[in-house]
Each structure stands twice: as C-alpha cells, then as structure tokens.
Amino acid sequence: MYQSGLYWQFIGVGQLLAGLLLMTQRYARLGALLFLPIIANIFVITLSFDFGYTPVITGLMLLANLLLLWWEWPVLRVLLNQAPDALPASQLGPSSTWELTGLALFLFTFGYRAFYDRYNILLWAGICLLLGLLGLVIGLRRRLAARKQAT
C-alpha cells in the first residue's frame, strides 16, 4: 500500500494528528471525530486487499472509536443541531490524573521502543495495563476524597 504515495502519507499524517489529539484531555473529542473517517477508510482497505487478520485489528479499532464517540454523544449531539444533554457534575477524576497516566503510558511505550529492538508484546501490554489500572485507582481515590470533603 505504500506504493499509493501521497494518499498513504496523508493517511499516516492524519493518524498521527488524531492520535496526538486523542492523547490530550482537552482535544480528545476532536481527535475521535478526526480518527473516524481515517480508521473507517483503513478498515475498508484491509477488507478489500485480504491482509490476513488485519481487518480484525482495524475493525476493533473502528469499534473502539465508535464507542468513544458514543460515550461523548451528550456533548457531540450539538453537531447534528440537537440540544446538548446536561453533563454530569463530576467526572471520574481530575484531569491531571488522566493526563499524567497518559503521559506515563506514552513515555513508557516510547522508551521501550527506543531502547529495545526486539520486544516482548506481552510484557509491554502487561505494564501498560498496570499503569492504566494504577491511574484508575488513583482517579477513583481522588474522586472519593473529593466527595468526602463535599459532605
């Protein structure tokens, strides 16, 4: 597919931009909206050219993106000229918790790929899962502490 030249480069730049936006707390919705046509296009391409099991991976990525947009629907519905739903008063945790968790995941992945030519995907996935769970626990504890202070 790299022989398609400019088109493939355009898709790659779009993926990078969408990924960067998705990693931020503030622009994640925009990143999800930008990524939808990109991953849908890639999914159709992988179905068309028989890339083995790649359509399974791209299909799951498309499903995850659709679920993320569904999660954000109360805010995004204004794009379809509908009144936005009332947003919940409290989120899962302060944005700094999720920003730091995302930064830790990014730095770990970047460092792991930079220093190891051949890496163990199970070790990488396990550490990423543990970092994500640690962020979740910290976020839930901060939320619980904030609720106790409010009462």
CB atoms within 10 A of CB 28: 16
Residue spans of the domains in the chain: they are 1-87, 89-151
Phi, psi of 122 (to 5 degrees): -70, -40
Residue among 42, 33, 136, 49 at smallest CA distance from 93:
136
Phi, psi of 9 (to 5 degrees): -65, -40
Dist CA 127 CA 35 (whole Å)? 26
Between 149 and 93, the more confident residue is 149
Write out pLDDT tens, residues 105-145: 888 988 888 888 887 889 889 999 999 999 889 888 888 88
Write out pLDDT tens, residues 139-148: 888 888 888 8
Q: What is the mean pLDDT of residues 14-19?
A: 90
Dist CA 62 CA 121 (whole Å)? 22
- Whether the model clears a pTM of 0.85, i.e. scores above it, the answer is no
Termini Cα distance of the chain: 59
pLDDT given at position 43:
94
